[in-house]
Structure 1
Amino acid sequence: MNLIQINIFVSNMKKLFPIILILILTSGLKHSVFGQNPLNTDGTAFTVPIKTLELSLFRPAKFGLTEKDELSAHPLAFFVMPHIFYKRQWLRFELFNQRFLVSSRHGIYYPKFALNLNQRLPFGFTHFQPEATNVPGALAFQSEVLVSHYLHEPDHCSAGDYLITARLGFKYALKFSQIDEPLINQSILYRETAVLIPGFIWYVGADLDGHLNYTYNYFADLDYYAYGFVNNYSLESKLGISGYYGKHFSGFAGLKLAFSTMPGHNRFLVMPIAGFSYFIDMRKRKKNGTDLFGRKKPFKHDNSLERDDKYYEDSEKRKNLADTIQ
C-alpha cells in the first residue's frame, strides 16, 4: 500500500465502508448459481487471465498480457505517483505430490509528487517531522518472489480452495537528496518513507485466500517489514471478505492492522479497507461483439454506394438465373 492510497483510505473509507460491505453481502447471490467465485490474484503468484482487464478502485488495475505476464498500476495513485508493476510466472513444479507456482513481481515508482500532495492535505498527523523538511526526490524500486500452492487444487467442479502464498521482497531507492531518517512517524507511512534514507526495506509475508461458501471468498495476510536489518520493523495484516455480482463486478471489505516500531515510540493502526473491481475479457468482447459493459453493440446499417451496387448486382444475377430456369 502506497502513501496516496493510505491518505485516501483515511479520508473516505469510514464513509464508504458500510455501503460497500452491504453491497458485498448482497452481491454474490447472482453469481453463486454458476459455481464458486474465482479467488483474487492480488498478492499471489497467479496472474489475471490473458487479455483480461481488471479495473479497480483502491486496488491496482491489472491486465493480462499473456498467460504468464501481467501489468498493473493503481488508477488513482498513478497520476500523483507515477509507477508501473510487472508480474511474471516463471516455474511450476511438484514437491511431495503437491503443485507449486513460482512468480516474481517488479515495479518502479517516483514518490515525490505524492509526498508534495501529502504536505498540502489537512491531515496534520501525516505531515513530515519536522514539517519544514524539503520533499526529497527519489526513484524507488520494488522486487519480490512469490510461491503459491492450492491445498485443494482447482478441477472441473471447483475453482480451487485454500490458496497459500509466501513472498520475499525488498524496496530500494535511488536518492536525489539526502535525509537522515523517515519523514512520517505513523504506521505504514513510516516504512514507505524509510525507503528514501540510506539502506533498504526488506519484507517477508504470507497470504491465505479461500471460499467461505459458494457466494463469498475470504482473504488474510501477514507481512513483516524491516528497515535495514533489525533496526525497526512493521508487522501488518489484512482481513476481509469479497463477493461477485454477475461476471463483471466484485467488491471487498475488511480491516488493515499495523504495528510499527519507531525511534522513541511505537504505533498501532486499525483502519477499514474496501473497494470494487470491474472485469473486461477482451477476447470474449471481440468475439461476442459487446461493449465494455457486456452489452451487444447496436447494428450499424451500411448505406455505402458499394453495398448498394453489390445488392443490385446480386439481384440482377438472381433474376437472370430465374429467367434461365423458366
Structure 2
Amino acid sequence: MMATRWMWMGVVAMLLMPALASAQDAGSAEVEASAEVEAERSGGDDADAEGRAFVGDTALLSEVGRWEVGLFGPLRYGLSEEMELAVHPLLFFVAPNAQLKVGHGQRGGWHVASTYQLTYPTPLLRLLAREGIGGILPSDRAVPHIVSLQGELRVTREMGAHLLSLGLGVQVAPRVGESQLVSIDLPFVYPRTAAMFGWATGIASVHMQGPIAGKLGYEADVRAFTYPGVDGAFAMEQGASLRFDASQGFMAQLGYRLSYAGYPFGTMFNIVPTLELAWGF
C-alpha cells in the first residue's frame, strides 16, 4: 500500500517536470538580463503584488487594504505588504477558522509565501454526529476537541500573463478528550479530515491560471494527498474552470473537480461541477 502512495506522488512529480523545465528556461533568460533591469525588478516586488485581484491559491498577496469574499470561498483581507488574513465565513460559526499568508519576497524569479491555517472543527463534527437528515457520523460516538493545524509553502512564477504555482504542505490535528471518531469516507471530505483520525496528511499541489481571450481566463490544478500510517488510503484531485474577470471588483468561475481516492474499503472515482462568484473592494 505504501507503494501505491509513492506511485501517486510520482505522478505529481511527473506533472511538475514540464513546469519546472519551463521555469528553468525563463530563469536562464533572466540571468542574461542587465543588472539594471534586475535591480528595478527587485525593488518593485511590493508594487508587483499590489493591484492584483483574486490571486487565490498562489504565493501572491492581495493589495493592502483590499477585501475579497467568495460565494463559497474565503473572505480575504490584505493586512500588510507581507501578510494576508482569510476566514471561511460560511463555516466560521460551526468550525471557527483563520488562515494567515505570509509573503517572503522573490527567490530566483519565484514569489515565495507560506500559509498557516487553524481550524476548530469539533462543533461541526458534533452537529453531524446524529441520526437522520444531515447525520454522517454515528450519533453514539464521542467527538473529542480537535485543533486542525495546516502549514504550506507556496511558490509562484509569472510566465508572461500566466501564473504557475507549486505547493507543499502538511496537516496535523491534535485531539483532547475521549475519541471514538470514525473516518468520513466521502469524496473531497476524507482527504481534508483524515488527519483528525490519523496523525498527519501530506499535501502537494500544482496550480495554473491565466488569460484566454479578453476578460475570459482559466484556472487548473492537481492536488495529491497522502496519509502516513493509513494503509491503502490516498487521494488525487484535479480541477479546471473557466474564469471571467469582469473587473477588479467581480469574478465568476464555472468548472469541475474530480477525485480518484483510496479509502479503507477500496477506491472511488467522483466528479462534481463547481461554481464560484467573488467580489472585491
Give TM-score, length-normalised by structure 1: 0.65
Cα 1:229/1:45, change in 2 over 3 Å:
farther
Q: Which has the higher contact order (CA 8 A, sep 6+)?
A: 1
Q: How does 1:216-255 map to 2 (within 5 A)?
A: 216-228=216-228, 231=231, 232-255=233-256
**Structure 2 CA distance, aligned partners of 1:101 and 1:137?**
36
Query: C-alpha distance in 2, partners of 1:136/1:177?
Result: 5
Q: Which deviations, in whole Å up to 9, do the C-alpha atoms of 1:87-114 show, x marking residues without a partner?
A: 01113122xxxx1111000010000112
Distance 1:241 1:74, change over 3 A: same
Report the equivalent of 2:9: none
Return closer, same or farther for 1:230/1:112 CA change in 2, 3 Å cut-off.
closer
Indicate the larger mover: 59-68 or 193-202: 193-202
Check whether the contact 2:122–2:143 (CA below 8 A) recurs between aligned residues: yes
Structure 2 Cα separation of the partners of residues 39 and 235 of structure 1:
28
- 1:136 pairs with 2:144: yes
Q: Which residue of 1 aligns with 2:166?
A: 166
Taking the aligned partners of 2:196 and 2:215, their CA distance within structure 1 comes to 43
Give, in whole Å, the separation in 1 of the partners of 2:203 and 2:250: 32
Q: What is the rounded CA distance, in whole Å, between the counterparts of 1:207 and 1:234 in structure 2? A: 17
Q: Give the counterpart of 2:77 among 52, 63, 71.
A: 63
Q: How many Å separate the matches in 2 of 1:229 and 1:167?
A: 22
Q: Could you report, residue by residue, the CA deviation over 1:57-93 in whole angstroms, capped at 9, with x for unpaired residues?
A: 1001100011221000112111111000000111312
Number of aligned residues: 229
- Which residue of the partner structure matches residue 264 of structure 1? 265
Q: Secondary structure at the match of 1:67?
A: coil
Residue in structure 2 matched with residue 90 of structure 1 by the alignment: 104
Alignment of 1:154-193 (within 5 A): 161-177=161-177, 179=179, 182-193=182-193
Structure 1 CA distance for aligned equivalents of residues 219 and 89 of structure 2: 22
Gaps of 5+ in 2: 1-50
Instruction: Give the aligned CA root-mean-square deviation in angstroms.
Output: 2.1
**1:3-43, Cα deviation, whole Å (9 max, x unpaired):** xxxxxxxxxxxxxxxxxxxxxxxxxxxxxxxxxx9663111
Deviations 1:135-183 (A, max 9, x none): 332011010000100111xxxxxxxx22100000010011014557742
Matches within 5 A, 1:92-107: 92-94=106-108, 99-107=109-117
Q: Which has the larger radius of gyration?
A: 1
Aligned AA (1:275)? E
Cα distance change, pair 182–239 in 1 and its aligned pair in 2 (3 A): farther
Contact 1:39–1:210 under 8 Å retained in 2: no
Q: Which residue of 2 aligns with 1:74?
A: 88
1:103, 1:147 within 8 Å by CA — same for their partners in 2?
yes
Fraction of identical pairs, as percent: 24
Residues 217, 245 of structure 2: 8 Å contact kept:
no
